[in-house]
Amino acid sequence: MRHTRTVAFHTLGCKLNFAETSTLARQFADAGYGRVELDAQPDVVVINTCSVTDQADQKCRNIVRRAVRSNPDVFVAVVGCYAQLKPAEIAGIEGVNLVLGAGEKFNLVHHVEYADGSAGRVIAGEIKEVRDFIPSFSSGDRTRTFLKVQDGCNYFCAFCTIPLARGRSRSADIQTTLQQARLAVEAGAREIVLTGVNIGDFGTANGEKFIDLIRALDGLEDIDRFRISSIEPNLLTDDIIDFVSGSRAFMPHFHIPLQSGSDEILRSMRRRYRTDLYRERVERILLRMPDCSIGVDVITGFPGEDEDRFQETYRFLVDLPVSYLHVFTYSERDKTTALRNPGVVPMEVRNLRTRQLRILSEKKKHAFYSRFTGTRRPVLWESANDEGWMYGYTDNYIRAARLWKPEAANTILPASLIRFDEEAFYTE
């Protein structure tokens, strides 16, 4: 009897990568492959890489070594953003058989099936030639699915390699996206998180808008919850905020990249808004949805961020009524215009500022959670049993915990929020 070939996946980076890995996994399953863990001697290992996280090269090397230890005859394929940006570098890693760029990654099964087993083969064309949009959604967690609604970006911010790794902004039409959402629901999802590189830019190529998409999704009665993963402040319109405030299924939760609270640094970053617009967006959200959770992305140590500019950011965030921060330490990226900027910030200063903002984030989160002590909120409980506990999220993105109760898994139940620590709000 013929041995069923097996495949393992390792994903680095963002929610979009996880959605795309799930699509690749479904393609391998359709081709007759069994999915196994990385250490279970797979025949094929697929590494989906990221260019945003630090030490992309070292992380990729570590996973390749781990795969080869598990099975010396393993076929290793590398895809993703780092594969598009540095294909020759990845191909030179001992143990790598195949490197696919953005235009070929969804043809991975074909390339694996017809590969000759040689080392370091690269298929990575020019990113400007990539035009196709491949819909994707994550699977493996019935409770929450990440649905890819958009890819690429036209913004070319000074610190970012994503346009070079993923190409121009593109998306499917609304009807195709609705069909993908239905497939996610059929797979058991109770909550769908809309994800992409710049999701507010949805539909620009075919005359549709993001507001049209979320109105259509809200009409899918078989899905309980939607979330908007991250949206640029200049694309977060009054119409979107007002619609979410009265929506059936879109949760009171926004994540809005800021990157800096200094207008001078925002100009240097080539961001398309200033702090006054950002503040106005936050104020409008809270006017319409007082209980809404608002997350913020911030970068510390961008070139030119002297102590005065950092203090501008710190003060801006202290005064801003947001719920939590995602803080990133600036790191240099090849082929970005920020490399030409003067005023390089020493790494120890960048790290210190990151620590300061993460402490501020904990204070923001504590203040936000404190408001809801003693209240009741609907919680979507996840299906994992974590040493006798289970976790979930309220509508407004408060992490909740309760004693494990199998019948509660993958259901939405009202819960009283009793007390919280750094992990979660405990309920009864």
Question: Tens digits of per-residue pLDDT, 119-159?
Answer: 678 887 787 778 888 888 887 666 889 999 999 999 999 99
**What's residue 361's pLDDT?**
98
Per-residue exposure over 202-234, b if at least 16 CB sit within 10 Å of its own CB, e if not: bbbeeebbbbebbbebbeeeebbbbbbbbbbbe
Q: Sheet holding 144-148: strands in order across?
A: 136-137, 144-148, 191-195, 225-228
Report the candidate in 63, 106, 69, 60 with the shortest Cα–Cα distance to residue 87.
60
Q: What is the DSSP letter of 306?
A: -
CA 218 to chain centre: 22
Amino acid at 287: L
**What's residue 1's pLDDT?**
33
Residue 235, classified by CB atoms within 10 Å of its CB into exposed (0-12), middle (13-18) or buried (19+), is middle
Sequence-distant (≥ 6) Cβ neighbours of residue 9 within 8 angstroms: 21, 24, 25, 35, 45, 46, 47, 48
Q: Helix H segments across 12-115?
A: 15-30, 56-70, 81-85, 87-91, 108-113
Sequence-distant (≥ 6) Cβ neighbours of residue 18 within 8 angstroms: 11, 138, 146
CA 23 to chain centre: 15
Q: Give dist(CA 223, CA 217) in Å, integer.
A: 9
**Upper half-sphere CA count for residue 295 (Cβ side, 13 Å):** 16
Per-residue exposure over 287-320, b if at least 16 CB sit within 10 Å of its own CB, e if not: ebbebbbbbbebbbbbbbbeeebbebbbebbeeb
Identify the band that residue 54 occupies on the pLDDT scale cut at 50, 70 and 90: low
Residue range 352-410, pLDDT digits in tens: 999 999 999 999 999 999 999 999 999 999 988 888 999 999 999 999 999 999 999 99
312-335: average pLDDT: 96
Q: How many residues does the structure list for the chain? A: 428
Q: Give dist(CA 409, CA 383) in Å, integer.
A: 4
Residue range 194-221, pLDDT digits in tens: 999 999 999 988 899 999 999 999 999 8
**What's residue 235's pLDDT?**
98
102-117: average pLDDT: 87
